[in-house]
Amino acid sequence: MAKAPERLIREARRGKEEALLKLFDEHHLPLFRFAWRLTGSIADAEDIVQECFLALLRPDCGFDPARTAVRTYLFGAVRNQWLKRLRRRDQGMALEPVDRRTPEAEAVRGEAAGAVAAAIAELPGTQREVLLLAHYEQLSLAEIAEVTQLEIAAVKSRLQRARATLRESLAAYAPQTERII
Amino acid sequence: MNDTELDRLLETWEAPTPRPSLRHGLRARFPRAERLGFVRPLRWALAILVASVALVIGMAQAQSSYSQWDFGDLPVVSLLHRMFENFMEGREARRVEQVVAKIRQSDPKVYVDGQLVAPLEFGPAKSMDVEVPGEGLYSIVLYRFTRVRNAAGRPTGWVEAGRIHDSVIEFQAGGKMVRIECDRPIVGEDRPVFAMRRR
pLDDT in tens, A25-56: 999 999 999 999 999 889 999 999 999 999 98
Q: Which of A18, A50, A131 to mutate to test the interface with B (most CBs of B within 10 A)?
A: A50
pLDDT in tens, A97-106: 444 555 555 5
pLDDT on residue A33: 95
Query: Helices A152-169 and A141-148 meet at what angle, rounded to 10?
Result: 100
Q: Do B19 and A46 touch (CB under 8 A)?
A: yes
Residue A154 has pLDDT above 90, yes or no: yes
Q: How far is CA B107 from CA A49, B123, B182, in A?
A: 75, 16, 6
Contacts of A32 in chain B (CB under 8 A): 15, 18, 22
Is residue B100 within a helix (H) or strand (E), and if so which, with residue range? helix B75-104
Q: Which amino acid is at B188?
A: G
Tell me the C-alpha distance between A60 and B2, whole Å: 46
Structure-model confidence comparison of residues A33 and A92, the more confident one: A33
Confidence of residue A178 (pLDDT cuts 50, 70, 90): very low
The mean pLDDT of chain A is: 84
Q: Do A24 and B7 touch (CB under 8 A)?
A: no
CB A116 within 8 Å of CB B12? yes
Closest-CA distance, A175 to chain B, in angstroms, reads: 7
Q: Do B21 and A171 touch (CB under 8 A)?
A: no
Q: What is the mean pLDDT of residues A134-153?
A: 94
Contacts of A36 in chain B (CB under 8 A): 15-16
Q: Which amino acid is at A57?
A: L
ipTM comes to: 0.80
pLDDT on residue A145: 95
pLDDT in 10s for each residue of chain B, 199 residues: 788 889 998 999 999 999 998 999 888 888 765 454 556 667 778 888 888 777 777 776 665 454 555 555 667 777 777 888 888 888 888 888 888 888 988 889 999 998 899 888 888 778 899 999 988 999 999 988 888 888 888 888 899 999 999 899 999 998 899 999 999 888 888 889 999 988 7
Of A42, A113, A166, the CB nearest to B19: A42
pLDDT in tens, A122-141: 999 899 999 999 999 999 99
Q: Do A174 and B5 touch (CB under 8 A)?
A: yes
HEC letters along chain A:
CCCCHHHHHHHHHCCCHHHHHHHHHHHHHHHHHHHHHHHCCHHHHHHHHHHHHHHCCCCCCCCCCCCCCHHHHHHHHHHHHHHHHHHHHHCCCCCCCCCCCCHHHHHCCCHHHHHHHHHHHHCCHHHHHHHHHHHHCCCCHHHHHHHHCCCHHHHHHHHHHHHHHHHHHCHHHCCHHHHHC
Tell me the C-alpha distance between A76 and B196, whole Å: 75
Tell me the C-alpha distance between B176 and A46, whole Å: 88
Q: A 64-93 residues with CB below 8 A of B?
A: none
Query: Helices B75-104 and B39-62 meet at what angle, rounded to 10?
Result: 60
CB A83 within 8 Å of CB A54? no
Closest-CA distance, B51 to chain A, in angstroms, reads: 21
Q: CB A58: neighbour CB atoms within 10 A?
A: 11
What is the distance between the terminal CA atoms of chain A, rounded to a whole angstrom? Answer: 55
pLDDT in tens, A69-80: 999 999 999 999
Closest-CA distance, A176 to chain B, in angstroms, reads: 10
pLDDT on residue A135: 95
Q: B 20-39 residues with CB below 8 A of A?
A: 21-23, 25-27, 29-33, 36
3-state secondary structure of B31: coil
Q: Do B15 and A16 touch (CB under 8 A)?
A: no
Of B10, B23, B32, the CB nearest to A24: B23
Tell me the C-alpha distance between B116 and A62, whole Å: 69
Asked if the C-beta of A133 comes within 8 angstroms of chain B's C-beta atoms, the answer is no
Q: Do B33 and A32 touch (CB under 8 A)?
A: no
Asked if the C-beta of A46 comes within 8 angstroms of chain B's C-beta atoms, the answer is yes
